[in-house]
Structure formats: structure tokens, C-alpha cells
Amino acid sequence: MRLRLLADENIAAPLVHALRSAGHDVTYVAELAPGLTDDAVLSLARQESRLLLTEDKDFGELVFRLMKNPPGIILLRLPVPGWQQQYDRLHELSANHAEKLSRVYAVVENRRFRFRPFT
């Protein structure tokens, strides 16, 4: 399934390019407006109805404690750095769990996916 993503600036450029090549609609903060605050990133995700793709755990606090909910968040938490493994896991996520990504905080790990609904 094709995803509409807002890639935080901490996401590797090769991953963004690979996702675009696979047909996903990706806006990249590093290209659009580097240095945006986390609040501004969440606001942009809401305005554009995009899932936020990030490696930054700080978004969890903004969503669960401060209730600043975007359409969804995908947090990459893989132990081995490298965009190829991230791409492979995101491909599996979009192929098998895309219907679960709305209004959830999804954590992508090496061996599992976790989904926590926004309150």
C-alpha cells in the first residue's frame, strides 16, 4: 500500500529516495525546512495529512502527554544503523499493516511492530 509520509530530518536521505522510488508520497523535512521544531513538524504532518516517519522518541511525549496528534507516527527503532534495513521493515509494515497506521504510534523494531493508539 502507498503511504503518505512526512520524513523527519533525522531520516537518512537514501531511505527517503528509496521510499519515493517504491511509489510512496514522501515530503522530507530536510528538503523543505531544515531545523523545524518538533511542534512545527507535527503541525505540518496534520496540515498535509501525512504519517510522521522519525527516529526521534520525543514525539511520543508530544502525542501522549500533550495530545498533539498527527495522522500517525512511525518510529524507527532498529539496532543496526542503515537505511536498507529500515526500508525493508517499512516495506513489510506498509504491505502487511497499513490499515493499522491511522491515529497510532507505530514502533518499527527488528523483529516486531508495536501499535499504540492515540488517546
Beta-strand ranges (E) seen in the chain are: 4-7, 25-28, 51-54, 73-76, 104-108, 113-117
pLDDT score recorded for residue 69: 81
CA distance 59 to 39: 9
- The rounded Cα 77 to chain-centroid distance in angstroms is 11
pLDDT at position 82: 86
Residue 58 makes CB contacts below 8 A (sequence gap 6+) with: 38
Per-residue pLDDT, 80: 75
Q: Provide the pLDDT for residue 100.
A: 95
CA distance 70 to 42: 6
> What pLDDT does 7 receive?
98
pLDDT along the chain (119 residues), means of 10: 95 97 98 93 95 93 82 92 92 96 95 92
